[in-house]
Chains A and B, each alone.
Chain A
Amino acid sequence: DTAVSQTPKYLVTQMGNDKSIKCEQNLGHDTMYWYKQDSKKFLKIMFSYNNKELIINETVPNRFSPKSPDKAHLNLHINSLELGDSAVYFCASSQRTWGGETQYFGPGTRLLVL
């Protein structure tokens, strides 16, 4: 059983399109996160939700909008895609919102904007 799953695994699209990435965790965790890993492998947090409530909202363009329909799901919608959005996007979850918690990461979604 996959603990944190993401779909799709690969996403190739044109500039200006709108796309969504879905994330689901079956660990029963309360907190979920989105991270962006750029081409130099640098990881940066984008958002986190605790039980459907937004906790972290880093300096991210308004074109990125997270949505959490329930605590097991955190989706990422991106409007008007730009070349610079090309990256690997990782979803993660943790049992609670606390700095010492272990975060469990999904396999990543590789987004390429042409």
Chain B
Amino acid sequence: AQSVTQLDSQVPVFEEAPVELRCNYSSSVSVYLFWYVQYPNQGLQLLLKYLSGSTLVESINGFEAEFNKSQTSFHLRKPSVHISDTAEYFCAVSPQAGSSNTGKLIFGQGTTLQVKP
């Protein structure tokens, strides 16, 4: 079985400051890792994902996340946030192995990023 823990339920930050949203996971099999973002009253959209290869992955809008296998973490970072980054951020995993590879996403509890002017 898999589980995902997002360590902060809310992260308030001032505009142009750096931010880190933390995500840890537990799984008995290898997993793919995702960050999805949900803007107010909208559905989720993919921010970035780790499948294999380089452990540092980047999104088109300046976010990056690093897969750390030994610490089972996939923290999300941005060096300078904008007001428009205010949203709910969800970390998720999906099992890779065999019959468990069904596309099922297991989500964390979400982190509300509040960017203040």
Give the B-binding residues of A (Cβ under 8 A).
4, 31, 33, 35, 40-45, 48, 55-56, 90, 92, 94, 96-108
Contact = CB atoms under 8 A, between A and B. Distances in A.
Nearest to B88: A41
B105 A103 contact: yes
Contacts of A98: 101, 103
A96 B102 CA distance: 9
B109 A4 contact: no
Interface residues of B, number: 26
A104 B102 CA distance: 16
B49 A107 contact: no
B94 interface: yes
Contacts of A96: 103
Contacts of A105: 36, 43-45
Nearest to B42: A107
Contacts of A103: 44, 46, 103, 105
Contact of B49 (A40, A41, A100, A106): A100
Contacts of A42: 107, 109-110
A102 B49 contact: yes
Contact of A43 (B46, B90, B96): B90
